[in-house]
Amino acid sequence: MRVAEEAADKSEEVLKQTEKATRKAELGRALFGALGTTNYGELTVDEISRRIEGLSSEDLEKVREYEKNNKNRETLIEQIDRKIRANS
């Protein structure tokens, strides 16, 4: 019984890690599509600010999530939030 419980716990953890990796890959593809770059981490706040002009709320949400999970630059997140509100 204990072995089965441990196996179930391990399976659950693998599933969580897989879901996390899948979401990160999805966000990476969305960023490439929205911003036209694969080197997001190297972009400055000003460069990203220029690239997010005119994006849909959906694309802005993806950029925000990626930023929040990576560099977490508050000034950029606030700017994205303002743009999302303005699109609503």
Domain boundaries defined on the chain: 2-87
Residue identified by tokens 């930023």 is 67
35-42 LR contacts (CB < 8 Å, sep 24+): 35/63, 40/66, 40/70, 41/70, 41/71
Segment 33-80, tens digit of pLDDT: 888 888 888 999 999 999 999 999 999 999 999 999 999 999 999 999
More confident residue, 9 or 21: 21
Q: So what's the pLDDT on residue 10?
A: 84
Distance CA 22, CA 78 (A): 26
Other residues' Cβ atoms within 10 Å of the Cβ of residue 4: 8
pLDDT above 80 for 1: no
∠ Cα 56 59 78 (to 5°): 90
Q: What is the pTM of this model?
A: 0.76
